[in-house]
Structure 1
Amino acid sequence: MELEVRHLRALCAIADAGSLHRAARQLGVAQPTLSTQLNRIEQALGGPLFIRERTGCRPTPLGRTVLGRARPLLADMRTLVREARAAAAGGDSRPRVGS
């Protein structure tokens, strides 16, 4: 499995919401669907990204590392889309991708 932008969005939503249930609601998916997706992402990356507790989820050290890389990538993707739309609409912004 290769990670996709939607996977990074899901991970950030889980971290920001602090629970799978709240993150699923924010993303507009069922909680079991998000839980299954998280399990697949964790298998692909080789370890748990969140500690699941009765009170919610919190990132593991691996999870903090992944989130630290995911957040700037998502910000760059938002910028890319915004600039591409402006260019397509006749604006003078040129799409840029940073890494």
Structure 2
Amino acid sequence: IDKNAPCVWIDLDKKELCIRILHEGPDCRLIFSNDNESFYLQEPIATGWVINSYQLSGMEKPGRYTITVLTPEKCYQGNLIYNPSNSTL
């Protein structure tokens, strides 16, 4: 288990993504996009127990979305399938 892995929460009903990186460190970034290129978000991430909140209001199309968290040491990546008709993962 990677104790430095970021904590990521997504609320599809509110279209909100939250990230927390527990250790202090510079230059962390979020990249969140879908496979049909209709949605793309790239933002810096504050570290050290700060909860970062990002609004996903432009996330309208169904499909496969990729969440990438870049830290100076590693790249963490996960995927979800979004279907707005039932808002399930």
TM bracket, shorter-chain basis = under 0.3
Structure 1 or 2: more helix by fraction: 1
TM-score, normalised to structure 1's length? 0.24
Q: From the two aligned structures, give the one with the greater strand fraction.
A: 2
Structure with the larger RCO, 1 or 2 (CA within 8 Å, 6+ apart): 2
Structure number, greater radius of gyration: 1
Length-normalised TM-score, structure 2: 0.26
